[in-house]
A and B are shown apart, each in its own frame.
Chain A
Amino acid sequence: MQKKTALYKMIWREITSSKARFFSILFLILLGVGFFSGLQATGPNMLKTADDYFNQQNLYDLHIQSNYGLDEEEYTRLEEKEEIESLEGHYSHDVLFGEDRLVIKLMGHDEDNQLNQLRVDEGRLPEKSNEIALDYNDVLTSQYTIGDEVTIYSGSQEANLSDTVSESTFTVVGFVTSPRYITNDSRGQTTIGRGQLDAFGVVQADVFTLDVYTDIFVTFKASENLSMYSDTYIEQMKDYKDAYEPALEEVGAGRLDKIKADAREEIEEGQTEIEEARQELADAEQELAEAKEELETGKEELASAEAELEDAFLELDREEQNYRDGVDTFEQEMKQAEERLADEEQTLLESEQQVKNGLSEIEAGLNQLNEPYADLVGQETALLDQRDDIRQLNQQLSEFFQTPVELLTDEMKQAWIDETAEMTFNDTSLSTLLQGYFNGTVTQEEITAFMSSADAGLTAGISELRTNINEINNQRDELEAQQQELRASLEEINAGKQALEEARTELNNQRTETEQELAAGRSQLDEGWAEYDKGVSELEEARGDLAEGQADYEEGLVTFNEEKQDAEREIKEAEQALIEARDELDKLEAPTYYLTVRHDNGQLVEFEENAERMSDLATIFPVVFFLIAALVTLTTVTRMIEEQRVEMGTLKALGYTDRDIQKKYYLYALSATLVGAILGLVLGYTLLPKVIFNAYQILYNLPPLALDFYWSFTLISLAVALFSSLVTAWYVLRKDLKTTPAILMRPKAPKSGKRILVERITPLWRRMNFMQKVTARNLFRYKQRMLMTVIGISGCAALIITGFGLKGAVEGIVDLQFGRVMNYEAVVALDSEASSDEKEAYRTIIDENDMIEASLMVYQETLAANKSGVTPQDVTMFVPETPAELNRFVQLKNRTSGEAFDLSEDGAIITEKLATLFEVEKGDDMTFTTADDDTLTVTVGGIIENYAGHYLYLSPSLYEESFSLEPEYNAELLKYPYSEAFETELSDDLSESDYVITTSYNQSMLNLFKDSMESLNIVVVVLIVAAAGLAFIVLYNLTNINVSERIRELSTIKVLGFYDNEVTMYIYRENIILTLMGIVVGGLFGRLLHVFVLGTASMDNMMFNPSLDWTSYLYAAILTMVFSTMVMLMMHRKLKHVDMIEALKSNE
């Protein structure tokens, strides 16, 4: 064996010297293999991830629920089964949660739980009874954080929360994920609230106060080594499920008896309670009646007392009158008597006055007399005195005269003078006379004469006076007689006075006496009145008491009546309830058991479908890449061989065998392919599945993707890659190696210019400018390359169209289904067993709501459509009450022909996808199976546009004909202008109706749908990236070949003075045209690919929107142009640096 190191060196140099070409092949193979292996691996990887996750978390294989809960009996029965690996009873209860009244499933968690293990994402699991761990989904994480206090509420008015759980307030301690729910949003159905669970919450199992388990979870030994997506597993689980159901039903029968007995006891108790209540009611009534009687008696007594009092009053009044009259008479009499007395007195007093006046006058007269009398007496006395004095003096003087005057002393003289100073008479004083005497002037006789005259004078005076005195005495006597007289009449008057006084006294006595009498009468009367008053006040009191009694009684009566009504209603209700309970008890059937295996969980199946869809896509896209890789390899190897004819000839001439010479090219292609394939596998198995899975992570709550290696995909992709490159190389080489070295060594005649077809169309050709002509010629000069470019570009455009188309197709159906096809906003599922009151209440809610434009009662049932060779399909049957109305709620139109249907005429209408799947046409018969295994055969009257799910619309007459019974309408379609606020309000209203089971809103389904479609964006991105890669490689490679092949030409025009951009455009003008052609072809190709992909990716119960939106084409065109421009810019840089001198130096 010779060493052919030179040959290998040559190969290595070839690779390094033509990197672009080598890497073009490498990258295309990489893309093809990467896409193929990656997309293929994604599905299985996703399933494996889910499977691993479920195994790790010990997800149940079988989930058992029952409408009676699950008791020890069931548990024990299951424990006997040997095939069971583990068995656990769990508690759960659907409640309303927090201020927003979210609907959550409260699940009990026990440390010892092995099944459905929770993954703690944040915080921890509850360790105390007042702690809760929440679902790690957006609904809750956006609103709550660890440490928050939350409250739960009962989901229905009848059920008490405390019957189920011991706590209602919890502290959030963590966020967890349950393997039971793998999607982020959907948590399943419930019977409370809006009918849809928002999330779950985990509390300690002890918090539940239930006697029975709500769920039993089972894992089987057999499942341990099986993938849950394997057919064996699915079948095995189905077998278990089928076997367990009857076994449990057996247990259920026993439980029913027990339940019935318990229920009967309860009913009895209830009955007794009702009796008691009734007795109480009767007692109360009795008491009231007695009270009423007493009141009546009291009233009567009061009335008679009142009458008595009235009599007493009258009597008293009369007496009072008498008394008053007596008093009046008495007073009058007294007055008269007094007046009389007063008159008499007056008269008396007047007489008395007269008398007294008389007396006074007399007195005065007397008194008047007294003075003159006294005067007179006085004068007399004085006169007498004087006379006496004179007489005495005279005596004395006589004696004195005896004594001679010369004997008289002066003193005696003086004493005489002094003593007689006052002795005057007739104006002669004695003293003077004496004086004279002493003086001797006067003789004693004079004096004695004087003395005698004086005496005589006095004696005359005294006599006169004595007359006057007598006269006065006479007058006095007269007056005194009158006085006497008057005194006698005064005496009389006084006697009269006395008599008057006596009469008065008597009167007074009389008065006193009468007054005493009257006072006695008065006090007697007063006593009577007082007694009367007392009687009145006593009566008043009695009356008050009676009124109070009456009020009490009336109040009691009202209360009683009210309470009686309530009580009677309650009793009635209780009785009704008892009757119902008895009825129910009679009707009570054995517990129904709901056994679900993992595959009954729609989320898991949907996930599986998503995974499988990836595998479907995986088969289509790589074809494009492989095809183009083959084409690129073809051009590249062709070009290589053309460039190296001389070398080949030389080698051949040197004696290398054809095999050795071929080896270079094979090895070149092989190494590019192998390296590309290996890199493609590496990236394909790692990057792509992760990228796609990350997109799904928006929807699913799964751990990071478990990667795996798959021999099958590896070998297939390698084989296809090698085939596409090596066979191409072989094809090119085969031709060249047949020729002799001499011919090979001679330069291949340059491909001569040829007139092209367009030139023959002279008018057109003439109108083209020089550059256009050049471009046109060049285009047709390299047909192979032109073809390749067009294919490559069209592949790129097609991929982009498919990407956007796919997105549009799937997203579009949401809008079409909910916008065009289904024109109602909500379906209210109704409880046909509800009472007529409840039904009426519901009707009021709907009828009184102004926003609701229309409503239609329907009978809704899920049927199965079966046909061999077709997967059985669930079909929703709607039997509208008024079939002619249906087209207001559902668009009854054929999609292609536009024919409109009317249910009342056409009888049975099915949806398009169903018709397609079962190959049914209008007029054909189609058979469905009901849940009770009845069959329904209808003649299809119309096939209508529909995208999601299968529907059968049936007229009631046809229904009756088929089932010989009237449809029992169990749902209502509602139509109203959508607004979130209104829907919330409506949902609140409807949740209060007992007639309503659940309401499903098209808008929320639409949103849910749209969210899940978000993941399609990543598919679009992946496709666009791939398309970009493809466009780059193809354009770059081909332009590169073009440039290298035409380097002399390019150098020439450079030398001729073409500017850089002119040089680029000289060659790129062709590319632009080819790109445009590629886009046009790609449009067609994309349309085909789109249809193909949709066909492959389609789901049985979903019809994608097959029309391709023009925007998809637009995006594809724009993006392709962008990629083409980017390659142009790269080529521009390259062409700028072309060494024109070098290129022009040598001959070819």
Chain B
Amino acid sequence: MSYVRVVDEFKRYTMGENTIVANNGITFDVEQGQFAVILGPSGAGKSTVLNILGGMDSPDDGHIYVDDKDISQYSKKQLTTYRRDDVGFVFQFYNLVPNLTARENVELASQISPDALDVDEVMESVGLTDRRDNFPAQLSGGEQQRVAIARALAKNPKLLLCDEPTGALDVQTGKQILRLLQNTARDFNTTVIVITHNAQIAPMADRVIYIHDAKVKEIVENPRPRSVDEIEW
């Protein structure tokens, strides 16, 4: 069984009189330790999928199994626990707490997680040991994103979800981040799911899920994912 299974998932939003279907029967799997990319244009509903996967939102219909647990049936509280224990998030705009140093931002996550990793080790693994006492404002975008990744990883999550992690970064920095994510999947056997509208990233993924118009268009298995350095955008 796949580690992550999204089965016939629907999400609808009501905007005034119109009902917008954000996810229209999405179904896909991601195996454990895979580096998966969900690819699609803006508004295709990929963020919705991520939110539902990350336990920030619940589907209107369908099932989401993570490690064989159906999180679609979870209560709010259960979802919070799920986020707390099993999920790491990386956002486009980092969402660091500006009032906390890099290390403290990581601690923010590790303090509440039961299987937390050593903060300093994580900091080192993202290469920020020197910068760990700096406040976010004193860090570059890439560094900030690395703090964000460290924060996500420090929890030792089963699932690392990244929403356009390179969106706000220059190509070079973006590549560094992607490399970090790819390595994470391999080194920690963490399932990493990245959503992006940047098709260039697709070749480096183990599995690419194309979402278009609220539906899964295609799922491509990539038997030999390329290294980040091989891709250009």
Contact = CB atoms under 8 A, between A and B. Distances in A.
Interface of A: 749-754, 770-771, 773-774, 777-778, 781, 1048-1049, 1051-1060, 1062, 1140-1141, 1144-1147
A633 B29 CA distance: 54
A10 B91 CA distance: 32
Contacts of B111: 770-771
B109 A1056 contact: yes
Contact of B135 (A754, A770, A1141): A754
Given A750-B137, A770-B111, 6 more contacts: A753-B98, A753-B136, A1052-B95, A1057-B84, A1057-B85, A1145-B47
Contacts of A753: 98-101, 135-137
B104 A770 contact: yes
B180 interface: no
Interface string B89-131: 1010101111111001001110111000000000000000000
Nearest to B167: A1147
Contacts of B54: 1055
A-B pairs with lowest CB-CB distance, top 5 = A1057-B84, A752-B137, A753-B135, A1057-B83, A753-B99
Interface in B45-101: 47, 51, 54, 56-57, 77, 80-85, 87, 89, 91, 93, 95-101
Given A1141-B51, A1141-B56, A1144-B93, A1057 B99 contact: no
Nearest to A1052: B95
Contact of B56 (A752, A777, A1055, A1062): A1055
A1049 B99 CA distance: 10
B93 to A, nearest CB: 5
Nearest to B107: A770
A801 B101 CA distance: 41
Nearest to A1145: B47
B21 interface: no
Contacts of A781: 99
B138 interface: yes
Contacts of B135: 752-754
B104 A773 contact: yes
B99 A1060 contact: no
Nearest to B83: A1057
B168 interface: yes
B104 A1058 contact: no
A1056 B168 contact: no
B99 A1056 contact: no
A1060 B81 CA distance: 11
A1140 B100 CA distance: 20
Contact of B138 (A752, A770, A1048, A1052): A752
B93 A1147 contact: yes
B207 to A, nearest CB: 24
25 contacts: A749-B137, A750-B98, A750-B136, A750-B137, A752-B135, A753-B99, A753-B136, A753-B137, A770-B111, A771-B111, A774-B104, A774-B108, A777-B99, A777-B100, A778-B99, A1048-B95, A1049-B98, A1052-B96, A1056-B84, A1056-B89, A1058-B80, A1058-B84, A1059-B80, A1141-B51, A1147-B93
Nearest to A1136: B76
A1059 B98 contact: no
Contacts of A773: 104
Interface in B168-204: 168
Nearest to B77: A1059
Contacts of A749: 137
A750 B54 CA distance: 27
A1056 B137 contact: no
A1053 B108 contact: yes
A1144 B91 contact: yes
Nearest to A750: B98
Contact of B87 (A1057, A1140, A1144): A1057
A584 to B, nearest CB: 95
A1049 B97 contact: yes
Contact of A1140 (B56, B81, B84, B99): B56
A360 B73 CA distance: 185
Contacts of B57: 1141
Contacts of B136: 750, 752-753
Contacts of B138: 752
A1056 B104 contact: no
B37 to A, nearest CB: 20
Contacts of A1057: 80-85, 87, 112-113, 155
Interface string B25-40: 0000000000000000
Nearest to B152: A1056
Given A1055-B83, A1057-B85, A752 B98 contact: yes
A782 to B, nearest CB: 9
A1139 to B, nearest CB: 9
Nearest to B93: A1147
A1147 B167 CA distance: 11
A1134 to B, nearest CB: 15
Nearest to A749: B137
A774 B112 CA distance: 14
B100 A774 contact: yes
Contact of B98 (A751, A1060, A1140, A1144): A751
Contacts of B96: 1052
A1126 B26 CA distance: 44
Contacts of B98: 750-753, 1049
Contacts of B56: 1055, 1140-1141
Contacts of B84: 1056-1059
Contacts of A1056: 83-84, 89, 108-109, 112, 151, 155
Contacts of B80: 1054, 1057-1060
A321 B59 CA distance: 164
Contacts of A1052: 95-97
Contacts of A750: 98, 136-137
> Which of B99, B101, B104 has the most chain A CB atoms closer than 10 A to its own CB?
B99
A1048 to B, nearest CB: 6
Nearest to B101: A753
Nearest to A1062: B112
B161 to A, nearest CB: 10
Contacts of A770: 104, 107-108, 111
Nearest to B138: A752
A1144 B112 contact: no
Nearest to B97: A1049
B85 A1144 contact: no
Contacts of B109: 1056
A145 B83 CA distance: 76
> Which of A752, A778, A1057, A1060 has the most chain B CB atoms closer than 10 A to its own CB?
A1057
A1049 B100 CA distance: 11
A1060 B89 CA distance: 18
Contacts of A1060: 80
A1144 B95 contact: yes
Nearest to B85: A1057
B112 A1058 contact: yes
Contacts of B155: 1056-1057
B162 to A, nearest CB: 13
Contacts of B99: 751, 753, 774, 777-778, 781, 1049
B220 to A, nearest CB: 28
Contacts of A1053: 97, 108
A749 B111 CA distance: 28
> Which of B80, B87, B137, B138 has the most chain A CB atoms closer than 10 A to its own CB?
B80
A1057 B204 CA distance: 30
Contacts of A1051: 95
B101 to A, nearest CB: 7
A1062 B54 CA distance: 19
A1141 B136 CA distance: 21
A754 B134 CA distance: 9
A340 B151 CA distance: 185
A1145 B50 CA distance: 12
Contacts of B151: 1056
> Which of B82, B109, B113 has the most chain A CB atoms closer than 10 A to its own CB?
B109
